[in-house]
Structure 1
């Protein structure tokens, strides 16, 4: 039996997973939430596969023992493409991962040219190669590593104004490739990136990309999957106080407090 107050555990290297949490909260508005950020390990995109897999499994193991979640969401593309299978092998709860939204982008493209923005670790994964082979046959997938967007999204959540050059460079990394001017779908292959979608859209318009350009991420599909896996389970009658747990010092998270309050994450603590 699952208690109504059993939480959903949302995990990311930083605050990028908030873009996923927002969609989960829309479909399950009273779900108890524990959001966990591995700030001591940020950024994941610059780490080796073994480092990421080890950190993710160790961190989720400790949190699962302490809070007994009903379900875990790995709201990080890099962590999911590297460590999802490992985490499922060691944790005794359902785990929903986050992978680049190549399938919906391939289904929606009219030009046949798709862009993928991600971290260095994500875009080089064989997992992404398989997604392309399975879902984007006959399409052109252009990949570009834009790790600077992670820091830009984090800065925006702190109330700072990121440098517009960051977004221009990210878009340019796609358009400078052969056929890049025909991109009509850009996959945001890191959960941090939807947090700066407006800035990326402005840069794309400035670069003269197609008017029918769309940005695609996997958050809606994740929310539907979470709702499906928890269908019929009991929930509290009203939203409860959410917890934000970081591997870094609490003081490091204080600048994010106003943003976290928008997601009902009012308790900030260090692991």
Structure 2
């Protein structure tokens, strides 16, 4: 008997596609529901209290509707603030997304790493804890950017974005005192791997960029090991929490990730 229960991915927008893509490579027969909370977008400028209240409530509704086998909070901001509450509320595995500070510290030769995230993520005590545990001998510099989230969303819609915008974001990180020592940058928002090439092109020197998408995909595969999958999964569902006129570029971008069935909550 095949098991038609989907994997449920959740993000404020399209950033979680950077986690979905490696997961689909490992589990090509997995049914997918990708939920984008455009009604609450962007998370990075919201207060911790707003996110802590909104995310568990939304995921509760989504789990009731789609009966997933597993939930992936494919959003660093939501994970660093609400992961514990979601796990306490749901009786199924919940995979979070946290800044890849440990692998960045492991590969940094200069012992200086940068963390690019949303404003909400970079100020979280969770990031302090990760830095202390895994990068205690490193200089860890942080920069929060709401603009970079918007750029990633625009790119997926097929809209042009300006190189100067990426250069400004990178300058916010590397122009800090000690920033000239950075050799490795953590992309601590799932949106940011979608514009990694643009960030690399805008960097003043070659830098290594690290994010957690592949590791999260391996974790999902491990948690579902031995489970049955449908022989021919249905088209992936892209679910938005607020209705809007979906532009053709976004339809194409979602379809490229196997999300051909667009719905609204």
Output the TM-score relative to the length of structure 2.
0.97
Q: How does 1:1-271 map to 2 (within 5 A)?
A: 4-204=3-203, 207=204, 209=205, 211=206, 213-252=207-246, 255-271=249-265
Cα separation, 1, equivalents of 2:23 and 2:96:
13
Q: Is the 8 A contact 2:2 2:231 kept in 1?
A: no
Aligned residues: CA RMSD: 1.2
Cα separation, 2, equivalents of 1:252 and 1:40:
14
Query: In the TM superposition, what is the alpha-carbon distance from 1:165 to its structure 2 partner?
Result: 1.7
Q: Is the 8 A contact 1:73 1:96 kept in 2?
A: yes
Cα separation, 2, equivalents of 1:115 and 1:265:
33
Cα separation, 1, equivalents of 2:233 and 2:160:
31
Cα separation, 2, equivalents of 1:124 and 1:32:
35
Q: Is the 8 A contact 2:116 2:143 kept in 1?
A: yes
**For residues 52 and 78 of structure 1, do their structure 2 counterparts lie closer, same or farther at Cα, with a shift above 3 Å needed?**
same
Cα separation, 2, equivalents of 1:124 and 1:23:
28
Structure 2 unmatched ranges of 5 or more:
none
Q: Is the 8 A contact 2:12 2:40 kept in 1?
A: yes
Cα separation, 2, equivalents of 1:151 and 1:38:
14
Cα separation, 1, equivalents of 2:51 and 2:249:
26
Moved over 3 A (4+): 252-255
Structure 1 unmatched ranges of 5 or more:
none
Query: In the TM superposition, what is the alpha-carbon distance from 1:201 to its structure 2 partner?
Result: 0.3
Q: Is the 8 A contact 2:69 2:92 kept in 1?
A: yes
Paired residue secondary structure (1:45): coil
Q: Is the 8 A contact 1:250 1:268 kept in 2?
A: no
